[in-house]
Amino acid sequence: MQANSNYLESIGQRARAAARKLARLSTAVKNQALLNIARALEESQGEILLANRRDYQAGQHAGLTEALLDRLMLNRERLAAMAADVRNVASLPDPVGEQFDVHTLPNGLILGKRRVPLGVIGTIYESRPNVTVDIASLCLKSGNAVILRGGSESIHSNTALSRLVREAAAAAGVPEDAVQFIEDTDRALVGQMLSMREYIDLLIPRGGAELIRRVAQEASMPVVTGGIGVCHTYVDRTADLQKAVDIAYNAKVQRPTVCNALDTILVHMQIAPQYLPLIVQAWGQAGVEIHADSRAMSILGPMESPRIIPATQEDWGKEFLSLTAAVKVVDSLDEALEHIERYGSGHTEAILTEDYSAAMRFLDEVDAAVVMVNASSRFTDGAQFGLGAEVAISTNKMHARGPMGLRELTSYKWTVLGSGQVRT
């Protein structure tokens, strides 16, 4: 334990030292480092796939589910996609150094803000080895040092990838310790990492609900709370039926395993008799299992094909991450708003309506990172929102909310250009 504590302490110190240098690197050097990483990913495929093979076999041996093995697995296509993502980050504007809100005060002081990196980012993540490269490249571009802690199931892949990243970045003049991966898989290190507020300015957990809750509770430093999306779509009395079917279908089916997928649909009682059979049929054809409240049940009646079971209390506020949807009939917009306030996770909430005032009330009153009118909740995403990439989707209200791109990994300093001014 003592050795481990020193181990992490040393990583923290080296990250701080690297962060100071990184903050002042030119955009050209950072971009060159990213291009080097992309090329190395292509040129070292054999080596990385070999390391990944060891993780995969260990995972098979340990009885990991097919889904987990699939998340763990790398192949030539996935490595090529990772390289493309890194090149994309290189192509994004550098947020660091941007001077903004500049104006001259009556006393002649030129006041402004200048964007600066946060310092050292820590991240704790599970299985998917692409997160190693993904987070490292976003931190590098935004001038932050990063300490990566991956899951033990992908230790060989992550070790190989992080070494590749360090070497490729160093070849461009980036300090090696800008990216550090914790190669020791001792579980006690997570608790120690969470206590390192002196060395880590922001902690980003990427993984399941349990990890995120633990980090939010234990971390001594600021944390991006996010990744848990209990997303409601409310089909208002006046919704356009066809749009409402298309949107709810897309929100549930297009990629059901992610945080911005639809979990519960709330349907106004006046439109439910027309709407419910349509969406249930569409979902049924895609294999969606439906958990319906009693009013929805009685509208739908006994149906053969889609799997419909009665909803229970646990269905409200549940993030399904699968082809399952909860369905509830509500009396009014007010009831929908109350349900969302009670069960939502503050991620993405949508209203489908042709009623202007209902749309405006929903935008106004729902307290969530993203509120939508007549669109699929699947759009809540850094790339879709035009940020180029994202490190996380924050459900915090402090600092950044919703998709976090490069800019959200920065702070600012005030700059004051004077010519001898004193305060009177």
The contact set with a second copy (CB under 8 A) reads 20, 23-24, 103, 105, 109, 111, 114, 116, 118-119, 201-202, 222, 240, 243, 246-247, 249-251, 254, 341, 359, 363-365, 367-376, 378-380, 384-386, 397-399, 401-403, 411-424
SS3 73: coil
Alpha helices by DSSP H, listed for 44-117, are 45-61, 66-72, 76-91
Q: How far apart are CA 139 and CA 174, in angstroms?
A: 12
Contact 284, 306 (CB under 8 A): yes
Q: How far is the CB of 135 from a second copy (least distance, A)?
A: 18
Q: Which two tokens stand for residue 86?
A: 């890194």
Residue 68 or residue 247: which is nearer to a second copy going by CB? 247
Q: How far apart are CA 184 and CA 149, in angstroms?
A: 9
Pairing relationship of beta strands 392-394 and 402-404 according to DSSP bridges: antiparallel
Q: How far is the CB of 78 from a second copy (least distance, A)?
A: 21
Contact 399, 222 (CB under 8 A): yes
Residue 181 or residue 199: which is nearer to a second copy going by CB? 199
Q: How far apart are CA 117 and CA 96, in angstroms?
A: 7
Residue 311 or residue 359: which is nearer to a second copy going by CB? 359
Residue 270 or residue 411: which is nearer to a second copy going by CB? 411
Residue 79 or residue 400: which is nearer to a second copy going by CB? 400
Residue 163 or residue 232: which is nearer to a second copy going by CB? 232
Please compute Rg for the chain using Cα positions. 24
Half-sphere exposure of 76 (CA within 13 A, CB side): 2
Q: Which two tokens stand for residue 105?
A: 């005060």
Q: How far is the CB of 369 from a second copy (least distance, A)?
A: 6
CB burial string 375-386: b at 16+ within 10 A, e below? bbbbbbbbeeee
C-alpha dist (Å) from residue 294 to 307, 313, 327, 336, 346: 15, 12, 10, 16, 26
Q: How far is the CB of 217 from a second copy (least distance, A)?
A: 8
Residue 50 or residue 105: which is nearer to a second copy going by CB? 105
* Interacting residues of 334 by C-beta distance below 8 A, sequence separation 6+: none
Q: How far is the CB of 343 from a second copy (least distance, A)?
A: 15
Q: How far is the CB of 14 from a second copy (least distance, A)?
A: 17
Residue 186 or residue 240: which is nearer to a second copy going by CB? 240
Pairing relationship of beta strands 120-125 and 145-149 according to DSSP bridges: parallel
Q: How far is the CB of 239 from a second copy (least distance, A)?
A: 10
Q: How far is the CB of 382 from a second copy (least distance, A)?
A: 11
Contact 282, 245 (CB under 8 A): yes
